[in-house]
Amino acid sequence: MSPRPFVLVAALSLLAFAVPRPAAEDVPRAKELLKHFAGTWDVEMTFAGMPPSKGTETNHLLTHGLVLVTEYRAPMGPGQEFEGHGLMGFNPRTGAWTSVWADSMDPNISINEGTWSADGKTFTVEDEIDMGMGPVRMAMVTTITDADHHTFTMSDSKAAAGAAPMVKATYARRAGP
């Protein structure tokens, strides 16, 4: 019998121990970060200098508290509506934050990993997006202002500091149940 299978199993076992595991404290922190977004939000959005539009975003957490499910809707003119659906969550097995997004403007499904700032106020995702002018690397940044407000911006990753974002949305938590 060849020693190859044993060597392969031994190598894979050593590799499993070498891969860093997320710290146990990451799961409670992830749940706390996601809790901010649960509920219904009134959204005012500007897109590439167009007049602002008003929409609604409804988010709920799955029962384990590690995945947020998002539904966004906003009118886009006479008889048209923009709709978007997303998932954002923390994978305790890998320690990665994953964002999934699909909407009525783009037939592609976007799947990306993102990062939180150390203070838990900013979540950043980068993705290559084609809005009809060819693919552009975009930075999508969500910043928590306070318990009832946050902003989302989408900017060209190569834009000069201080340049206006292509998309800016301000979120205010809707009062009541």
pLDDT digits (tens, 9 = 90+) for 38-89: 999 999 998 877 788 899 999 999 999 999 999 999 987 778 888 999 999 9
23 to 26, 62, 113: CA distances (angstroms): 6, 22, 18
DSSP annotation string for 6-63: HHHHHHHHHHHHHSPPPPTTHHHHHHHHHHTT-EEEEEEEEETTPPPEEEEEEEEE-T
pTM above 0.85, yes or no: no
> Which CATH code for domain 22-173?
2.40.128.20
Q: What is the DSSP letter of 77?
A: S
Please tell me which residue, 97 or 76, carries the higher pLDDT value. Answer: 97
| C-alpha span between 101 and 108 (Å, rounded) | 9
More confident residue, 127 or 1: 127
What's the pLDDT at 15? 42
Per-residue model confidence as pLDDT tens digits over 157-171: 887 888 889 899 999
